[in-house]
Structure 1
Amino acid sequence: MDSEGKILEQCSGGGANIAILGVKESANKIVQFLKEASKKATFTFPLTALGLGLSGAENEEANIELVNCLTENFSDIASSFFITSDSIISIASVFETSGIVLIAGTGSACRLLKKDGSIHSVGGWGHLISDEGGAIWLAIRACKLIFDIEDGLVEVNNSSDMLKQIVFDHFNMNHHVQIIDILYGTNFDKANLASICKEFAEKGKDDKLIQSLFTEAGQKLAEQLVAISKNADDEMLKNMPVLIVGSVFSSWDLIKDGFESTLRKNAKRRNYQKFTLYKQDVSPAVGAIRLAAKKTGQQFAMNVPLNVFAQIIFD
């Protein structure tokens, strides 16, 4: 993009997770991708600034190390480099100075970007210890509930037949013990397991037990907002701007009650007055460019219209 927000070139390719690839391999992969993109582009190197929003870029020390690696070895690519996580560039793509992103896709995470550039985090640490309210959490929660009911550990007032039938059909099985191989087998497929939530929402939306799972998911997602609100300044507490991202929000009617009730229950304790939820209408890459331009003092005049999804006001 140029300084007025005009797209000069747009392309896609493989990811570069710094936590998995490491600094040197990530740097090489980024540069290789840029050089390939430049072959058919209208821009020339070096770029004034290069903004990167990478998966796994949650460690500021590692981010600085990657910036230094790029600066020392690839100054012909860009005059300045800026690196942050993919969640932070999502915030910056919609909000010019500060805001929150709440992600509920396969996993879940909440991030706050403040005006001074500081970042605060809640969740997003993987399905073994985190991801509450995300699709993988909801799927595992459903599987556990089936076992708990069968084992007699919990008693439910509503039939579990629909829940079991959807799980059995999805994985082509006829007994709940077969779920063990799905969860612990060598062919564990996180995306496939999480995808069952779409079937829960479509086939089980009128089922009381499945409804309760989505209500709980809404509660867990709202708890992340409650937790991160302690880092908000007084101005933001008047109207908390939240970008919502991820497939779970497609089931808003199912998670809404749990989501809103949890926010209301904690409003006085956390002193927030209003939440405004927004949907994303532009590429997160806009946020990477905006942050990179800000770092170098460059002008970036792109105006992004806000798309309000919902507002929750507290007395």
Structure 2
Amino acid sequence: MQYFAGIEGGSTNSKLIVLSKAGKILCKKRGGPTNPYLSFPKTVSTISSLVAEAKSDLGLDTKKPFGGLGLTLAGIDDEKIYTDMLSHFRGLPEIAHRYDLTSDTIGPVETAFGPGHVAVVIISGTGSACRLVTEKGEQYKCGGWGHILADEGSAYHTSLEAIKMVIQREEKNYLENSITRAFAVEPLRDKMKEYFGIEKCEEMVPIFYHHFEKKRIAGFTKSISDLAFKEDDELSKFILRRTGKKLSSLVKGAIEQYTNDHPMPKKLNIIGVGSVWKSWDLVGKSFLEEFQDLNLKFCILNETAAIGAAASVARKSGVNIPLDRSKLIEVIFEN
């Protein structure tokens, strides 16, 4: 039997699936981060390990290659990284007969709709990025520059803004947004101290400058969400609404680029990827307010984008894997 594997990878973790030619998911695995822009050696090592573990779980000879391996990874947009990674895996014939490498925005489109659709992918996890993909696979991008240059609307950026807000309030620093100064800061300050295990704000300095972990800082967004939804904290709710506005700006940028070359589609498909979209009632609704005149469908994936990566490499190998894509997505909003 011919098997096709797909891996969805980012800065935090990775997901692998193996599909049969009939579209059945035969194996699922999870692993560490696979963003080659952050660490090429770690990425290729993690991918190789995931493939070996999957073969072991399926009772396959580890030296017998999969029919294809599709990779949808953050950081693969860089031309040199793409070329080096493709060259690396082509030198490992025991992994797969064929490889298909794409950015982490192509996998969700393949999973949700398959080829030949215009769709926007807006990622908001540890980092953020937006890509508008055309029927021919062309991409118009906005964002995705990493946490130092950008990542607005991401969990990292949301956490960073909240932390800065607490510090500014503590110091009576009027750089803080004038609107937010009307909200009590104490719940957010106390939650920040609890999450990072500190007693005073000055202890945030070594966390950022000596023991920096982007994933750890991004994880504070979950605490902000808990404050907003479980404790009805107004400042936290404001922060999450603003995150939605920032994500809408990324989509607007990609749409403007696209419409310089093409007419606007009658209906635009938007796929939200990443944990920040779990705070839909604040992030999502604030996001949609910026598109009231646009005919759109917003959905999230019920399954990993690794499915699309596997289906894509199979198709390029001459095998069309049947997928019931209606079961792979959940439509959150449609007008």
| Same-fold status (TM-score > 0.5) | yes
Could you tell me which residue of structure 2 aligns to residue 213 of structure 1?
Answer: 239
Could you tell me which residue of structure 2 aligns to residue 38 of structure 1?
Answer: 55
> How far has the Cα of 1:229 moved from its partner?
1.3
How far apart are the structure 1 equivalents of 2:148 and 2:141? 18
Could you tell me which residue of structure 2 aligns to residue 58 of structure 1?
Answer: 77
1:195-227 per-residue CA deviation (whole Å, 9 max, x = no partner) reads: 222222222442332222112111001111111
How far apart are the structure 2 equivalents of 1:46 and 1:238? 43
How far apart are the structure 2 equivalents of 1:167 and 1:61? 39
> How far has the Cα of 1:285 moved from its partner?
1.7
Change (3 A) 1:173 1:96: same
CA RMSD of aligned residues (A): 2.8
1:90 aligns with 2:116: no
Could you tell me which residue of structure 2 aligns to residue 48 of structure 1?
Answer: 67
How far apart are the structure 1 equivalents of 2:44 and 2:124? 29
Report which of the two has the higher share of strand.
2
**Counterpart code for 2:185:** S
Report which of the two has the higher share of helix.
1
> How far has the Cα of 1:46 moved from its partner?
3.9
SS in 2 for 1:238: coil
Q: 2:320 aligns with which of 267, 277, 299?
A: 299
Change (3 A) 1:196 1:88: same
**Counterpart code for 2:190:** Q
1:225 aligns with 2:245: no
TM-score, structure 2 normalization: 0.78
- Paired residues in the alignment total 302
CA contact (8 A) 1:16 1:26 kept: yes
Change (3 A) 1:67 1:229: same
1:165 aligns with 2:190: yes
CA contact (8 A) 1:102 1:242 kept: yes
Could you tell me which residue of structure 1 aligns to residue 4 of structure 2?
Answer: none
1:127 aligns with 2:147: yes
**Counterpart code for 2:76:** A
1:310 aligns with 2:320: no
**Counterpart code for 1:59:** D
TM-score, structure 1 normalization: 0.83
Could you tell me which residue of structure 1 aligns to residue 122 of structure 2?
Answer: 102
What fraction of aligned residue pairs are identical, expressed as a percent? 26
> How far has the Cα of 1:40 moved from its partner?
4.3
How far apart are the structure 2 equivalents of 1:22 and 1:93? 26
1:289-314 per-residue CA deviation (whole Å, 9 max, x = no partner) reads: 12212323332222221420113x4x
> How far has the Cα of 1:3 moved from its partner?
2.4
How far apart are the structure 2 equivalents of 1:132 and 1:77? 37
